Structure 1
Amino acid sequence: MSAVRTVLGDVDPASLGRVNYHEHLFQVSPLLVGDELDDEDASGAEAALLKASGFEAMVDATPFGVGRDAAGLARISAATGLSVVATTGRHREAHYAADHPTRQWDSPRLAALFTADVLEGMPADDAAPEGARALTDAGDPVRAGMLKGGIDYWRISDFERTTLDALAQAHRATGAPVMVHLEFCTASHEVLDLLETAGVASDRVVLAHADRDPDAGLHLSLAERGAYLGYDGFARPRTHSDARLLELTAAVVASAGDRIVLGGDVARSTRYIAYGGMPGLAYLGERYVPRLRSLIGDDAVDRMLVDNPARLLTLSA
């Protein structure tokens, strides 16, 4: 059976419902000091707000080594009824301290870790990657269903190239889809070129933060290659207003509506209601999606929230 791998087990893609393709329930990074997501109760409360806003599933896009909590994700999923797809991989280089152990790892060692996270289960503690596995309350391993890497602004460092190569190896072994964090959608074609050369078809890749450069022509060229466009820049008027992103989506949807997925990537404790901030994970469902439905119609939005993420998240091996 084709399946999506969630933290509570494999599910039929058709059962996912509406999916937020990119959020973080746990995250700790030297780039985000003071904005840690490290309180399971608060993150669980925020996940409940996301579910109440109209989503049945989400991808937790926190990869290895930046505060990931696999068992915590499983407990939150069980308590809220929100299906959660966990992530393995390695973020862009700036998220890892100079003494982080993975800076010394080559791509085969990274690939072995990523592959094990998908097939066998994630570590109970990322500080001990070869130690005990995280378990659900039922005693089952908590497995990842998404691979992730990241690159910098118009730059792919040796660290990040090693990650991309390891992701490709893990993808070939697991069939898990690949998310790549882009800085303002720069080097997007270059990333697809590298992954394709390493054996990852572009239609198994989602380019996170594509809408941080609201260039419809660029987006259509990426979609023509088969890549998914991750639109997740809402509620950031200092960068681009929601109105600008609505215009972008309307311009792209006619030709590439089957390649757009939506998320919030709120990713900061100061922006989570349950941590005392705002606008929270419910913003997308409560305030942006209704405007998008009014502009492009229910069918187009449902493709972005239901059909496209189900296809993207389905394991291909």
Structure 2
Amino acid sequence: MDSLTHLALGAAVGVAFMGRRVAPWKAALWGAACNTLPDLDVFIDHGDAVRNMVLHRGHSHSLFWLTLLAPLLALGAQRLMGGSFRRWWLTTWLALVTHPLLDLMTVYGTRLLLPFDDRPHAIGSVFIIDPLVTLPLLAGLAVALLRRRPQALRWNAAGLALAVAYVGWSALAQQQVRDAAIAAAHAQGLAPQRVLVTPAPLTTLLWRVVLVQDGHYHEGFKSLLDDDAPMAFERFDRGAELSPLLMPVEAAQEVRAFSQGFYKLARAGDELLITDLRMGQEPFYAFTFAVARRDADGQVRPQAPVQLSARVDAARGLAWLLPRMLGRPLPPPR
């Protein structure tokens, strides 16, 4: 999730579990700092653009390592601000581990089971920025910090509960859309090997569906406010003919594994590209990499990966997103 949401979540957890045992602003500040801590791994340079992508949300997001770190940080908090060490331990641990657990709900991929399991896990039912996660946290926290009455803490707890309930509901909505998408695909004669269902930006009313089948993938959109008309899918080439050329390229294999099979290959001049299909929508993707070059003699030579991101124009995107979210069957911006 975005940095603001992590700050708000950590602060809300800090206030909820420290209560009035210390000044609420101290608990909020500590919780916000702990919930932000795992994302400091973005400052680590792993050597190239692909490795920086696939190794983000790695050891710093591990539930095991964060659990070991919690008592050490809690000891520092107790010495700085007083209060019970056990209470600080619980608060610190919750502020730390709720970071990767919330990240798990996005589609990116979080290695939260390291060092026992190196696979990136992702549910993908919440977009990386979603106001309905962030705003309840901020509203409840604001009341708890600005009003000195003990009852004000209930607002913080209510905001935290609403955010958690919304995230839980997003997983149920995702499953509903997944069932509808698979039924529509089968009705249209498609037999996808992989199905991806992720929310559109800023909402869980509109969902993007990607079906991977052999050398192609299909993209469609489903709003929870759509009528009973079956989903429509557009078909795109996946670049399967380039797969043998990129087989020896390590960066391409890393993206293939990290994307859990949701990728496409393409050629741009002499360069060979690989795109993670999970983050973005056709033809705008956050993670496209030029990973190799094909010489005049036909030899494929790996190169230092270069990230080539593309984003839809904000005005065009919003002009499509809002009515499509409300159930109008508009084609996506291309």
Q: TM-score, normalised by structure 2?
A: 0.24
Higher RCO by CA contacts (8 Å cutoff, separation 6 or greater):
1
